[in-house]
Amino acid sequence: MKTIRNLFLLILVVSGIKAEALHLSSQTKISILTCSPGAELYSLFGHTAIRVCDPAKDMDIVFNYGTFDFQTDNFYIKYAQGLLPYQLTVTSYKSFINSYISDNRSVWSQTLNLDSLQRQRLFDLLVENHQPANRTYLYNFLFDNCSTRVRDIVAKSILQPIEWHLPDMHKSFWNLLDEYLYRMPWVKWGIHTILAQSGSREATPYQYMFLPDYLMQGLETATYGNKMLAEKQIILYQATESTVYSPWYTTPFFIFTLGTVLLIIGLIRFPSGKLLHTTAFLLFIASGLIGCLLIFLGYFTEHPITAPNFNLIWANPLNLPAAFFLFRKKRSYLLQLYLTIYGIVLLIGIPLWFFLTPAVPMASLPLLLLLIYICTRLKQRKP
């Protein structure tokens, strides 16, 4: 019978019934759930959700702002453009916690210190947010995500200013992201290549809370009026230890350095025009495609902090058309001029790898040096 009632209440919420029709009892507890990072890219930075538990009504449900639908029309195009709609969904607490247990991800709970009116107001706002016309929002990784949505709707329900006491650690957005990327060096290299110099700007402690772990830390000391916003955190599920590190010899810096050294030695040892031009062609195609991606993300999408991107110094989109002129019997004046200008730009760009790290990842420096060598050899040799 209890399960049937719980299911019935869940259906009422999910079906979009008006918030005023559901009145919470005095036994209700509303808590913030924080989930540890997962192995998938979309779960790399953890997750935040809101649990509403009312024993008097046999209701125990979770509001989740982090849901997206793979069946969305043009899913991958919208994902690439930063236009993928996310949704607020509602599920049973049992289903929610079991999914994180099966993924071996820790879950913490912090019960909000709210009176009955504030609890009802927060619940009403959540139910209203879940109405079909309101549940979808345009996800922004840094400024409008599952963590910021939870923080903001809690603040809206209290009707009093919340004092957040997170210490200012003078961290940039890069510093904050890197706390989660050390286990995945190739993902780190990719993100550092895609995101731009503006990620180096210092974030405010309030902005730290786009990350679930920092929202959890903020809730530990946050106050409103003369009250603590949340009770002490408790752990609902402790994941088993599973430390995964990439060996140093599989990191991008080592692979790119080794590849650069071997290619240069090979080109010196076998100075044939065919080998040089084949190497240059493949390198120009790869760097040109990366450059096209950076231009697309920086100027034709809604993704934050993707422009200006100094990685375009080496990943130049013009490398793509230039690659197809390398094998022409008579090299054009424009190609010669391009190789000269591109080589000079690469040389001038070397200091950036020491002054603008991590906006230009150190792992890409060997690629830049290889491109300089290739441009120099191409200038010196006729096809």
Considering the domain boundaries, does residue 173 fall inside one? no
Q: Is the pLDDT of residue 15 over 80?
A: no
Question: Phi/psi class of residue 305: alpha, beta or left (left: φ > 0; alpha: ψ in -120 to 50)?
Answer: left
Considering the domain boundaries, does residue 82 fall inside one? yes
- pLDDT at position 79 is 65
Domain match, 217 and 259 both: no
Q: Which domain holds residue 226?
A: 2-168+204-237
Mean pLDDT of 141-160: 94
Considering the domain boundaries, does residue 333 fall inside one? yes
Of 218, 237, 256, the one marking the end of a domain is 237
- pLDDT at position 119 is 97
Domain match, 277 and 305 both: yes
The tens digit of pLDDT for each residue in 54-74 reads: 999 999 999 999 887 766 776
Domain match, 74 and 21 both: yes
- pLDDT at position 11 is 52
Total number of residues shown for the chain: 383
Domain match, 12 and 149 both: yes
The tens digit of pLDDT for each residue in 209-223 reads: 999 999 999 999 999
Average pLDDT value for the chain = 89
Domain match, 375 and 351 both: yes
Domain match, 233 and 252 both: no
Considering the domain boundaries, does residue 191 fall inside one? no
Domain match, 292 and 221 both: no
Considering the domain boundaries, does residue 60 fall inside one? yes
Q: Which one has a higher pLDDT value, 24 or 5?
A: 24
The residue among 214, 211, 178, 209 whose CA lies nearest residue 357 is: 178
Q: Is the pLDDT of residue 19 over 50?
A: no
pTM (two decimals): 0.89
Angle between helices 252-269 and 273-299 (to 10 degrees): 150
Domain match, 215 and 320 both: no
Considering the domain boundaries, does residue 263 fall inside one? yes
Domain match, 106 and 209 both: yes
User: Encoding tokens for residue 322?
Assistant: 């230039």
Q: Is the pLDDT of residue 29 over 70?
A: yes
Residue 197 to residues 179, 306, 361, Cα–Cα distance (Å)? 18, 8, 11
Among 16-25, 33-42, 283-292, 343-352, the least confident range: 16-25
Considering the domain boundaries, does residue 184 fall inside one? no
Mean pLDDT of 338-352: 93
Domain match, 26 and 109 both: yes
Number of domains comprising the chain: 2
User: Encoding tokens for residue 305?
Assistant: 């902090």
Residue 114 to residues 44, 101, 146, 154, 229, Cα–Cα distance (Å)? 31, 28, 21, 10, 7
Considering the domain boundaries, does residue 285 fall inside one? yes
Domain match, 55 and 104 both: yes
Of 237, 256, 278, the one marking the end of a domain is 237
Domain match, 256 and 139 both: no
Q: Is the pLDDT of residue 365 over 80?
A: yes
Mean pLDDT of 39-64: 93
Q: Is the pLDDT of residue 354 over 50?
A: yes
Q: In this structure, which amino acid lies at residue 64?
A: N
Question: Phi/psi class of residue 20: alpha, beta or left (left: φ > 0; alpha: ψ in -120 to 50)?
Answer: alpha
